[in-house]
A and B are shown apart, each in its own frame.
Chain A
Amino acid sequence: MEDLNELKKIEQYVDQCMKCGFCTFFCPIYQEELVESSVARGKIFLTKQVLKGEQQLSDQAMDIIGKCLLCKACAVNCPAKTQVDRVIVGARAEQVRQQGLPLLKRLIFRHVMANRRLFGWTVKLASKLQWMIPGKQGRMKHLPDFLKALGQGRNIPAISSVLLRDQVQEVNPPRDSKAPRMRVGYFMGCATDFIFPETGLKTIEFLTRHGIEVVVPKAQSCCGAAIYFSGDLETGRMLAYKNMEAFKDVDYVVTTCATCSSSLKDYKVYLPENDRQRKDFEAFSKKIKDVTEFLVDVLDIPPEEFHLRKEFQGKTITWHDPCHLVRYQNIRNQPRRILQALEGSTYVEMPNADRCCGMGGSFSIYHYELTKKIADRKVESVKATAADIVVTACPGCMINLSDHLQRAEMPQQVRHLMDLLE
């Protein structure tokens, strides 16, 4: 029997499950497939069998256990408070420990994504080659996702011609040239850097106008979410220390990516190998703020000081809760408070606003057919609001929502909350 080091670390969470089956009601995957192996109870039972030595951590077992959006809908609703996400990540980490990373993932995680400059070059190269792919009607161009979404008929947004990193200064003083209220680090995140740089520029502008010195360290890296949620904890730790070093001299680290803010905060949950790391990650966690939470809870900006950009005047807007905001960080009211304060637009709450959009990072690459079904339910929710604009705060959700709204030939635009603010 294998020594199961990574799995042993999460055994206590496996033992929390009392098999009540309530997770079936909340799991977006189970709701499509209606099969026990899709849901947390089944995955946890199998993991338990592995721990007992009654089941190998076979590829078949991992196909079942690993097929998870990590949306945490089961975990937050579990009567026994079972930390399902930690079980899934632990099982993936055990698989990586036993088998190593598959070649493609190893190449991407350890050599491309973990190397900020190389990642940037790769993306730039891809953007230069976009013209080779036939364009499609609509707001986006087809682009072969270098990760491997090729041939799935997916609408993937164009990569920006100039990356955010090449458009920003490392230090951005407050606009009023007074002494800064505080010094804040802006964490770009890969998707904002490569695909949505304008969100980053608007955020930096907004913050500097509110008396803040915004630092954008060149040494920052990928947050590591896609990497450590896939079980590569080692590269995750390496990135964590790179980012902690890059942001060591700021009061707060603010990001406009829900996944980044949650994964930076949660280094302490998934990554520590020893007490020293735990302490380091906990200290770093305290500095991290999602931008929605930063504006409302830290800066305490009064509602009348949020202003809508001209182009959105008269529009009806609705909000989609990213899993990484609402369940990973319990940020639910802050974005709504901002949106409802915007004079000139009408806010409509969508049904099941906090239901996962089906993206789940690389989940959508491996299980795109399932992603479509889950996203279709979100599209129905959007339809019910008759809103003009779907607002959210996670580039991952933005990419996925745009894809499926476009597939359904719906007219809605998808925007980041910071895109709306003057």
Chain B
Amino acid sequence: MISESVLVELQNILGREDVLTTREILKTYSYDGTSQWTHEPDVVVFPRTAEQVSAIMKLANAHRIPVTPRGGGTNVSGGSIPVLGGIVLCTTKMDKILKVDRENFTATVECGVVLMNFNARLAAEGLFFPPDPQSFLAATIGGIVAENAGGPAGVKYGVTKQYLLGLEVVLPTGEIIQLGGRTVKNVVGYDLTMLFCSSEGTLGVITKAEFKVNAIPPAKKTILAIYDDVAVAGENVSLVLKSGVIPAKIELLDNWLIHRIEEASPLGLSREADAVLIFEVDGMAEAVEKEADKIIEIAKMNGAREVRPARDQDEANRFWMARRAGFAMIFGRAPTVLAEDVTVPRGQIPALIRKCRELSRKYDLEIVVMGHAGDGNLHPSVLTDIKDSQHFARAEKAVEGIIEAALELGGVLSGEHGIGLEKQRFFRRALGPTVTDLMKNIKSLIDPNNIMNPGKIWD
């Protein structure tokens, strides 16, 4: 519990309206996008400047109070849940887009800016920020950097770190530091900017970010290809990439999702089909035409049951809508969903999918597979119910199996969701004791009193 005097000090820093302690309001800060964990904070604060964040951190550090940073609360690994109580530092009121520099293709934004609003502003200048986490309607910049968010565009455009030039960070001890700069090239000592990217809020509060942004490509095209065998779909991904075409997105949906799509808003997909790939190519109009033709040719020549280029933008939107609705369909079908985020080298996608099916049979569970086939980042989702302890235990076993398989195939624990609470128990196994301890030492150097989002990443 936080003492009355600390609350008064917080009110002195922020004003009364930005310090919330009503029990019912605290409950609305006890969760994120996951379904397993909740924990209430003792207080929620809404700073508006880095100086206010600094004052909060100094106060929290002096009193050893845990601080959990939170933006839109969209993360799906438990990262913004205040598992030890204390302060939730909510950044939603630091929501200014400070600068869009068309000449230098850079933008400066505060941490509470919602990605959709950032992109709307960039679009007015003919620019865009390529990483596209599917929570873009609500996810904020601070979390996007802290989780190193990705999305479907990863195959061509990479993830957040590829666009991160500089940061303003408030350390757990209260100092405000500037890292990186505004240039693409920058080799001046250790790359501490990247240390904070994917730090999951455990090293400090990101208050401002400097990004590289791109010009919006003038043309794009969507192609949907249907396969009788998911392994053939996987091979098609490799063949397309080997041909020299780099699509902006290559998304995969499995048979379970094909059924749900046909029930909800039919695209006329055969229910016997094993998998669907949705490709998007973008760039100069002439190049887009040629690249689209190449993909169609490869798919037709190499086992696709049907290839359907979108006739117009409307149809393309319908294809992408079906993909975006994927998670909603999955979450709508089970009380609890364990949404995995493992990533394997691209060639191993068929092997990972086969493994998921094997586990599904072994534990008698539904495991739905969709994801970013183009970059090897898959989201196998295990449908379960946390209230049914036997079923849930089998689901957790299946998740373990998926993770073990991914690691054996040369992959990683998480592609874009982060470790948070969700994958703590696998962390040491995945990285080994030396690297884990090195990370812990870095953490205690920057956060000597372990107040910054404690209880996350490792046990």
Residues A49-74 near B (CB distance < 8 A): 49, 55, 58, 60-61, 64
**B232 interface residue (CB < 8 Å to A):** no
Does A64 lie within 8 Å of B328, measured CB to CB?
no
- Given A21-B135, A79-B328, check contact A42 B28 (CB 8 Å): yes
Q: How far is the CA of A45 from the CA of B28 in the complex (A)?
A: 7
User: Chain A residues near B32 (CB, 8 Å)?
Assistant: 19
Does B331 lie within 8 Å of A45, measured CB to CB?
no
**Of B93, B138, B324, B332, which contacts A25 at CB under 8 A?**
B138
What's the nearest-Cβ distance from chain A to residue B67, in Å? 17
Does A25 lie within 8 Å of B137, measured CB to CB?
yes
**A37 interface residue (CB < 8 Å to B):** yes
Does A25 lie within 8 Å of B114, measured CB to CB?
yes
How many A-B pairs have beta carbons closer than 8 Å: the answer is 85
Instruction: Please name the residue on chain A nearest to B88 by beta carbon.
Output: A36
What's the nearest-Cβ distance from chain A to residue B136, in Å? 9
Does B31 lie within 8 Å of A45, measured CB to CB?
yes
What's the nearest-Cβ distance from chain A to residue B23, in Å? 7
User: Chain A residues near B92 (CB, 8 Å)?
Assistant: 34-35
User: Chain B residues near A35 (CB, 8 Å)?
Assistant: 20, 25, 46, 92
**B347 interface residue (CB < 8 Å to A):** no
Does B72 lie within 8 Å of A64, measured CB to CB?
no
User: Chain B residues near A55 (CB, 8 Å)?
Assistant: 24, 27
User: Chain B residues near A384 (CB, 8 Å)?
Assistant: none
Query: 26 A-B contacts, Cβ less than 8 Å apart?
Result: A15-B335, A18-B33, A19-B33, A19-B35, A20-B74, A20-B135, A21-B33, A24-B72, A25-B114, A25-B137, A34-B46, A34-B95, A34-B112, A35-B92, A36-B90, A37-B24, A45-B27, A45-B30, A55-B27, A60-B23, A61-B24, A79-B324, A79-B325, A79-B327, A80-B328, A80-B331
| Range of interface residues on B (Cβ < 8 Å) | 35 or more
**A22 interface residue (CB < 8 Å to B):** yes
**A46 interface residue (CB < 8 Å to B):** yes
Residues B224-253 near A (CB distance < 8 A): none
**B420 interface residue (CB < 8 Å to A):** no
What's the nearest-Cβ distance from chain B to residue A370, in Å? 13
Q: How far is the CA of A130 from the CA of B137 in the complex (A)?
A: 47
- Given A19-B33, A21-B135, A80-B328, check contact A36 B24 (CB 8 Å): no
User: Chain B residues near A60 (CB, 8 Å)?
Assistant: 22-24
User: Chain A residues near B137 (CB, 8 Å)?
Assistant: 21-22, 24-25
Does A34 lie within 8 Å of B93, measured CB to CB?
yes
**A16 interface residue (CB < 8 Å to B):** yes
Instruction: Please name the residue on chain A nearest to B74 by beta carbon.
Output: A21
What's the nearest-Cβ distance from chain A to residue B442, in Å? 31
- Given A34-B46, A34-B93, check contact A16 B74 (CB 8 Å): no
User: Chain B residues near A42 (CB, 8 Å)?
Assistant: 28
Instruction: Please name the residue on chain A nearest to B73 by beta carbon.
Output: A21
Does B332 lie within 8 Å of A46, measured CB to CB?
no
User: Chain B residues near A20 (CB, 8 Å)?
Assistant: 33, 74, 135, 138, 327-328
Does A24 lie within 8 Å of B31, measured CB to CB?
no
Residues A23-49 near B (CB distance < 8 A): 24-25, 34-37, 41-42, 45-46, 49
**B157 interface residue (CB < 8 Å to A):** no
Does B29 lie within 8 Å of A36, measured CB to CB?
yes
What's the nearest-Cβ distance from chain B to residue A66, in Å? 12
**B7 interface residue (CB < 8 Å to A):** no
Point out which of B24, B73, B335, B337 has the most chain A C-beta atoms below 10 A from its C-beta: B24
User: Chain B residues near A34 (CB, 8 Å)?
Assistant: 46, 92-93, 95, 112
What's the nearest-Cβ distance from chain A to residue B390, in Å? 21
Q: How far is the CA of A41 from the CA of B35 in the complex (A)?
A: 13
Residues B57-112 near A (CB distance < 8 A): 72-74, 90, 92-93, 95, 112
Apart from A20-B33, A41-B73: 6 A-B pairs, beta carbons within 8 A: A18-B35, A21-B137, A35-B25, A37-B28, A45-B31, A80-B328
**B116 interface residue (CB < 8 Å to A):** yes
- Given A18-B328, A19-B33, A21-B74, check contact A64 B25 (CB 8 Å): yes
Instruction: Please name the residue on chain B nearest to A58 by beta carbon.
Output: B24
User: Chain A residues near B325 (CB, 8 Å)?
Assistant: 79
**Of A16, A21, A22, A64, which contacts B24 at CB under 8 A?**
A64
Q: How far is the CA of A82 from the CA of B293 in the complex (A)?
A: 40
Instruction: Please name the residue on chain A nearest to B114 by beta carbon.
Output: A25
User: Chain A residues near B95 (CB, 8 Å)?
Assistant: 34
**Of B20, B27, B34, B72, which contacts A46 at CB under 8 A?**
B27
Does B27 lie within 8 Å of A19, measured CB to CB?
no
Does A18 lie within 8 Å of B332, measured CB to CB?
yes
What's the nearest-Cβ distance from chain A to residue B249, in Å? 19
Instruction: Please name the residue on chain A nearest to B34 by beta carbon.
Output: A19
Instruction: Please name the residue on chain A nearest to B25 by beta carbon.
Output: A37
What's the nearest-Cβ distance from chain A to residue B309, in Å? 26
What's the nearest-Cβ distance from chain B to residue A63, in Å? 8
Q: How far is the CA of A60 from the CA of B21 in the complex (A)?
A: 12
Q: How far is the CA of A35 from the CA of B18 in the complex (A)?
A: 10
User: Chain B residues near A19 (CB, 8 Å)?
Assistant: 31-35
Instruction: Please name the residue on chain B nearest to A38 by beta carbon.
Output: B28
Query: 1/0 contact trace for B308-340 toward A, CB 8 Å?
Result: 000000000000000011011001100101000
What's the nearest-Cβ distance from chain B to residue A350, in Å? 17
User: Chain B residues near A24 (CB, 8 Å)?
Assistant: 72, 114, 137-138
What's the nearest-Cβ distance from chain B to residue A79, in Å? 4
Query: 1/0 contact trace for B17-56 toward A, CB 8 Å?
Result: 0001011110111111111000000000010000000000
Does A25 lie within 8 Å of B29, measured CB to CB?
no
What's the nearest-Cβ distance from chain A to residue B91, in Å? 10
User: Chain A residues near B324 (CB, 8 Å)?
Assistant: 79
Q: How far is the CA of A49 from the CA of B34 in the complex (A)?
A: 16
Does A18 lie within 8 Å of B72, measured CB to CB?
no
**Of B23, B29, B116, B331, which contacts A18 at CB under 8 A?**
B331
Q: How far is the CA of A36 from the CA of B24 in the complex (A)?
A: 11
User: Chain A residues near B29 (CB, 8 Å)?
Assistant: 36
Q: Which 3 A-B pairs have the closest CB atoms?
A: A79-B328, A42-B28, A18-B331
Q: How far is the CA of A402 from the CA of B95 in the complex (A)?
A: 31
- Given A36-B29, A45-B27, check contact A21 B335 (CB 8 Å): no
What's the nearest-Cβ distance from chain A to residue B81, in Å? 11
